[in-house]
Structure formats: structure tokens, C-alpha cells
Structure 1
Amino acid sequence: MRKLLSLSLALLLPALQAQAECGGNFGQFIDGLKQEAVQQGHSPEQVNAFFRGVRQDPAVLKADRAQGVFQKPFIEFSRRLISADRLNRGKANAQKYADVFNQIERDYGVSRGVLLAFWAFETDYGAFQGDFNTRDALVTLAHDCRRPELFRPQIFAALELFRHGDFDPARTTGAWAGEIGMVQMLPRDILENGVDGDGDGHVTLKTSAADALMSGGRMLASLGWQKGQPWLQEITVPAGFDWSLSGLEETRSTADWAAMGITARQGQLADGGLAASVLAPQGHKGPVFLAYPNFRVYFEWNQSFVYVMTAAYFATRLEGAQVYDAGTPDTGLSGSQMKDLQGKLSARGHDVGKIDGILGANTRAAVRAEQARLGIIVDGWPTPALLSKL
């Protein structure tokens, strides 16, 4: 699910916010949205029809506040999401929709394993697409004030889909955050990247696998996916490797990494001139990967590091990679311990963002800084021992 605000919308946002501020009286908020919609060129009749019966959905806010699954470490999270059944069904779908995937790879350069992994994780290959009313979810989240800059533009995108006859405000359903269809795309992404993959004259992401997969491929291409390039590869790291060089912040050519003794655990490393980063999601004693430029495109779809790592890894499994070597990583922190750690890091002047118990990029960077200060291995993996030292 992509969470970006285009430049044009960013420029328009102050004016829009002045007309429909988040929070406050919900009825007045809706009136403000209606005025904005009319000013954007929609007819009052269309606007009234779109917003008729709109309501706040407390279940959406509850789901937004309860994303505890992203607190899981990579090994636990990946084992939870990847099963033999899910892998087998992915391979079966690769054969069933081979013509669609061939066209996607030809037109957009996105490898089939990548889209199959998204399809699996987002909706279990279309089986569970969410039953939240999409319009109500978007309006609820835009009114909530936590991330209005993300969700307000999606309301008007949904209104535009409604004008085209591709959105029913009373019946269109999806995920709690407003994503629709088999690969869960937000309304604006559907407007910009929707593809009629089955040739029926409509972009129907809920019922047409061809439409959903083609649209997902086009969106990834628009986000910068490079045709024919890898995204993630498990590696073997030599003894004595300088772990301070690991992390997404450090990029070197594949040839440079090879010169340090890094090898592919299966097959060969990518072209020597391709930039890459060494990632150890659970520290130097756990599995280790080389992340190529396409890996960063994943963060335009979902900004959770553990989700991105797992989706990228599963894509490689769907295309023949072996199960990663889990190693024997040091024990990590519980959710409450992670919050405690984030509080201590913040008190030391580190910007860890929200204290939410999730090991995000800012928290990893702060952990690395403290590991360096304390003279311990700088791998970005927080442990009870580190917490104790702080």
C-alpha cells in the first residue's frame, strides 16, 4: 500500500486544509470537503451522491492504532507470513497467470515473484480484501488529524473514480486504510496506474487478477523499479567483517562488497557495478542479505522495514531461492522493552520518531550510534544487553 503525497497535492494542501480542517465537528468537516470537491469541478449532484450516508468508522481508528504485528522481528514475522501452502499457491498462480506475468515483465520490467508476494501478503491471493467501507475509511482517517495529508487527497481521488463509474461509495470495500483490490491500491494510485488487464473496458482490482497485477506492475515501474535488476539476495559474510558498514545508509558497488569477501549464498552476486547495501535484520548473528536499488522501491509501497524485508525475501523464494540461514541471533526486545529503549535513546538526543515499540529506520540509526559509542558491534540490532547499558 503506497503512502506518498504527490508534489502537486503537497502544494495544494495548505489551501485545502484551510477549507476542511481535520478534527472538530464531523458534519462541518464533511461540508468543507463538499465545498472543495465543487471547487475542483465536480457537480453538486455528484458530490452529494458521493457523500450521502458517510459516517465515521471507529473500527478504522482502532485498526490504525493496533498495528502490533510490525513489532515482530524479521524471522518471526517472515515465518508467520510465509508457509508452504502460500508458497505452493504462489507458484500455481504464476503458472495460471503466466501470460499476464509475461506481459508485465515485458511492459514494466517487474519480476513475477515481486507481484506474487504482494498479492499473497496483501490479500492472500485475493481471498481477503477487507470489508471496510472505503469512502468511510478515508474520510475517517482524514478527519482524525494523525495523517490527513495522506488521506484527504485519496477522498477526492475516490470521488473521481466515482465520476468514472468505477467506485460505489456505498458498496466499495477494502482495507481499513482505504486500499482496494487484490494488491491493495489507494484510489489515487488506481487513477494514475490502473490498467485494464483483461480488456473488458474497466479497471476492476477486486475481481480481475489481470487488472490488479498489471496495475501493480505499472505502479512499481512508475515508482522507479528497474527492469531486469535484482532486489534482494542472501549472502555469506566473512569473519571479521566490519558491521558498521551494514545498513541501508551505506551503499557500495557489488564489486566492492565482493572484494571484502562477501559471496552469494546461492548463485552469483549481481553485476559488479550495481550499488547495494548489506542488511542484517536481526544483527550479525542472523540472516544477512544484499539489498539492491530495486529494494528501496518497496518502501514506496509500505514503509515498514520488517514487511519490506519479508515481502522482498518471499519474492526471491517464489523465484527459486532457498530458505534463509536463520543463524542464532541474539535475543531481541519485547514491545515494551523497545518502547523503553526508544525513550532512553530520545533522552540522549536521538530522533527515533514516535515511541511505538517498532524498530524503524530512525531507531536502528540511533541504536547503531549508541553501539559505536559503547564500543560494541555496530549492527543496528537492539538487545537486552544494550538496553541495560543505557
Structure 2
Amino acid sequence: MRSHGLLLALSLATATPALAEVPCGESFSSFVSKMKQAAVQQGHAPASVDRFFSSVRQDPAVIKADRAQGVFQKNFLDFSRALISQNRMQNGAAYAAKYKSTFDRIEREFGVSRGVLLAFWALETDFGQVQGNFNTLNALMTLSHDCRRPELFQPQVLAALTLFEHGDFDPATTKGAWAGEIGMVQMLPKDILTNGVDGDGDGHVRLKTSAPDALMSGAKMLRHLGWRANEPWLQEIVVPSNLDWSKTGLNHKMTVSQWAKLGVKPRSGSLGPSNLQASVLLPMGRNGPAFLAYPNFEVYFEWNKSFVYVTTAAYFATRLEGAPVYSAGNPQPGLSGAQMKQLQQKLVRMGYDVGGVDGILGEKTREAVQHVQQKLGLPADAWPTPALLSRL
């Protein structure tokens, strides 16, 4: 999935010393020379650096992929229905059985539920079948040279160099997603250095070919990003029609017991621990599906910044552990991509930070919409409609 979408999983720990940013945008050959100098200054052997960079090429297809992320303009119902197929559900059950001992170990050691990793594995690479066909070093160097986010990608290049020195990265043949992620659950080189686990005991971390390595590493990274062991992440709920909609959204939290007092009920099973903080999430507004988002749901945004991807991945994880198909409800029609951009432009002119005019209904746009709905005396469920757009 990442090969089509947003950059994911930003490494928090520094696996390599801080890199003084190499100037972006100049000729690529000059940029390569300066990256080599930076690598040597950080203590890498010159001969090793020369071998590592010998095959590097700029890849225009990487920049094209980085600029084209329209898949995230879909709403939650369309996006989740497209991604959560019967085939993926069946394969999820089969892989859960095949790697039961690995998942048991993960739950013991990291407290990450198997459905969570199965969903990532399915959505990222279709259980390892589609891992991306971009040369990883070329992708990382192309994005390091591009002036959009060099501070993110240049340290990833040096992390890949360290993996190369360990015998775990071949600059000429290692392939993955356009944004430089590698393997079955798509991890960046710094994340592999920090959180890579040899799950099958062969002495190497092989995220492309070893499911135990990939799953154990993914679980360790989730813990590293703040996953709370053995706690829920998302649960479908039924909300009363008279709920104060202005209290909904990820920017509003109450304890589970407080939500229950307001009439929030689980659609199946029971709610999480009464003292857990949680948010009521309405991805399609008050007439669509409703979820209770627990603290672990926030960790998903460390893996991927897209609201619709995160909500789909978290919901899919619950499905893989037996939750029923959501109640779709009857949500009001939303906005097209062009209409969403219009709305965002109007919100920006009103002084709101929408996180960029990109036609994507992300969390900042939702918060701005909810605030405007309150000011206009409308149900403040953060779901923008054509009627709201015309009111503005």
C-alpha cells in the first residue's frame, strides 16, 4: 500500500549519528559525491562507501509516485470496501494459522494483537506478494536529492549503508516501495536498524523473505512507536441520535465509562476498560459507521499519516479477529476531490490550518469543519457536505 501512498513509519530513534543535511537540488552526480563525503565523515570506510554508491541512479518514477497520492481522496466506505476483500480475509485466516507460533510469541513479548499485524501485512504487500519494484537505494537517493523532504530521507541512505555493511542490503538488487520501505510490512532502513528482529533464528533480519522476521520486526516497531501492550485499538459502537456531536473526533477524549453514560454502546462484545481514554470516531459523519478509538489507535498515525488508511487498517484488524462487517448506515453524500480543495481553500481564508490544500479529508480538515459547523449551528460531526460548502 505504501508504494501507492504516503510515506510511513518515521523512525524515532537515531540509529546513525546526526547528519548535517547535504544541499538538495543541485546536479545529481554532485549530490552523490557530497553524500559519499558525509558517509565517510560519519566513520564509514571509503572503500565500503564507494561500493555502496557505485550503482546509484536517479529515478524519475519515484518523484512521479511521490506526487500522485489520489487514492487517499476516497472516503472511508469506498476505501475500506476496496481494500478489505474476501480474498484478504481468507488469506488472513490462513496466515494466522500458518504462523500461529510467531503470533503467539509476538503477543507474549510485545503485546501486539495478531489482527493488527495481519492487517498491515495484507494492506502493505498482500502478505508479501507485492513488495514494490523500485530499487531502494535509487529511491532513497532520489528523494534525498529532491527538496521536499531531504531531512527525512538522507539519514535513511546512511542507515541503508550500515545494513549493507552488515550484509543485509544489496544496493544493486534490493527493491521495495517508491518511498524506500523494504519487505513484507514495509520498513525504512532506520526502522530496520532500530527494530529489526531475527524471528527465525538464522542470524539475519530478512524482511523480504522471512515472515517471522517481518512480523516480529513490525511488532517491535509498534511497541517502539508507543503501542500499549494487550490493549484494544478500535471498536465499532452504536451512538445515540442525541449525542453532542461536538464531543466527537480524535481531538476530544473521555473515559470509556463517561462515553457509556452518554449512551455509547458496543455493537458486539463489550467496551474496553472503563478508565481508558477514548474518542468517538465518525469517519462518514453522524449517519455513517461509528467507532471508539482507544489510545493504541494513535500509534497507527506514526505508521501512516493518512486518516482513511489508518481507520481502514485498524478496522480491518478487528475484522480479522472476528468483528462483524460495520454498519454502513446512511451517510450524507460527501465532497469530490475538487470540492474538497474548494472547501479547504475557504477554510484557509477563514484562518484554519487544514494541513495543506490537497483534496484529502485529513484530521486537520475535519477539526476545522467541526469548528465551522458549531459556529453555523449545524450538527458538528466533522463530515463536510455540499450543503456546508455552499454555506461557506
Normalised-by-shorter TM-score class? over 0.9
Residue type of the alignment partner of 1:39: Q
Shift of 1:23: 1.0
- Matched residue, 2:140: 138
Alpha carbons 1:5, 1:149 under 8 Å: kept: no
- Matched residue, 1:4: 10
Shift of 1:351: 1.1
Question: Residues of 1 paired with 2:133 and 2:386: CA distance?
Answer: 40
Partner of residue 209 from structure 2, selected from 207, 210, 233: 207
- Which secondary structure state, in structure 2, belongs to the residue aligned with residue 235 of structure 1? strand
Alpha carbons 2:16, 2:155 under 8 Å: kept: no
- Matched residue, 1:117: 119
Shift of 1:353: 2.2
| Structure 2: gaps (5+ residues) | 1-6
- Matched residue, 2:180: 178
Residue type of the alignment partner of 2:178: W
- Matched residue, 2:284: 282
Alpha carbons 2:11, 2:190 under 8 Å: kept: no
Residue type of the alignment partner of 1:384: P
CA gap 1:105/1:7 in 2 versus in 1, 3 angstroms: closer
Shift of 1:11: 9.3
Shift of 1:149: 1.6
Shift of 1:373: 1.3
Question: Residues of 1 paired with 2:82 and 2:102: CA distance?
Answer: 29
Question: Residues of 2 paired with 1:95 and 1:12: CA distance?
Answer: 42
CA gap 1:7/1:107 in 2 versus in 1, 3 angstroms: closer
Question: Residues of 2 paired with 1:11 and 1:125: CA distance?
Answer: 34
Shift of 1:124: 0.2
- Which secondary structure state, in structure 1, belongs to the residue aligned with residue 18 of structure 2? helix
CA gap 1:9/1:167 in 2 versus in 1, 3 angstroms: closer
- Which secondary structure state, in structure 2, belongs to the residue aligned with residue 12 of structure 1? coil
Shift of 1:28: 1.5
- Which secondary structure state, in structure 2, belongs to the residue aligned with residue 95 of structure 1? helix
Alpha carbons 1:71, 1:359 under 8 Å: kept: yes
CA gap 1:248/1:176 in 2 versus in 1, 3 angstroms: same
Alignment of 1:56 with 2:58, yes or no, is: yes
Question: Residues of 2 paired with 1:8 and 1:141: CA distance?
Answer: 19
The 4+ residue runs of structure 1 with deviation greater than 2 A are 1-13
CA gap 1:96/1:9 in 2 versus in 1, 3 angstroms: closer
Written as runs of structure 1 = structure 2, the 5 A alignment for 1:264-275 is: 264-275=266-277
Shift of 1:7: 6.8
- 1:6-49 deviation digits (Å, cap 9, x = unpaired): 47589935xx12xx111121111111111110011101111111
Question: Residues of 2 paired with 1:356 and 1:24: CA distance?
Answer: 28
- TM-score calculated relative to the size of structure 1: 0.97
Question: Residues of 2 paired with 1:386 and 1:57: CA distance?
Answer: 42
- Which secondary structure state, in structure 1, belongs to the residue aligned with residue 278 of structure 2? strand
Alpha carbons 2:234, 2:314 under 8 Å: kept: yes
Partner of residue 30 from structure 1, selected from 29, 32, 37: 32
- Matched residue, 1:193: 195
Written as runs of structure 1 = structure 2, the 5 A alignment for 1:1-390 is: 2-4=8-10, 6=12, 12=18, 16-17=20-21, 20-390=22-392
Question: Residues of 2 paired with 1:145 and 1:154: CA distance?
Answer: 15
- Matched residue, 2:4: none
Q: What is the CA RMSD across the aligned residues, in angstroms?
A: 1.3
Count of residues in Structure 1 that have an aligned counterpart in Structure 2: 386
Alpha carbons 1:115, 1:217 under 8 Å: kept: yes
Question: Residues of 2 paired with 1:3 and 1:212: CA distance?
Answer: 14
- TM-score calculated relative to the size of structure 2: 0.96
Question: Residues of 1 paired with 2:9 and 2:41: CA distance?
Answer: 25
Shift of 1:53: 2.2
Residue type of the alignment partner of 1:64: D
Alpha carbons 1:5, 1:150 under 8 Å: kept: no
CA gap 1:351/1:142 in 2 versus in 1, 3 angstroms: same
Residue type of the alignment partner of 1:151: F
- 1:48-90 deviation digits (Å, cap 9, x = unpaired): 1111121111111111111110110000000000011110110
Question: Residues of 2 paired with 1:354 and 1:10: CA distance?
Answer: 31
Residue type of the alignment partner of 2:79: F
| Structure 1: gaps (5+ residues) | none
Question: Residues of 1 paired with 2:9 and 2:109: CA distance?
Answer: 24
- Which secondary structure state, in structure 1, belongs to the residue aligned with residue 204 of structure 2? coil
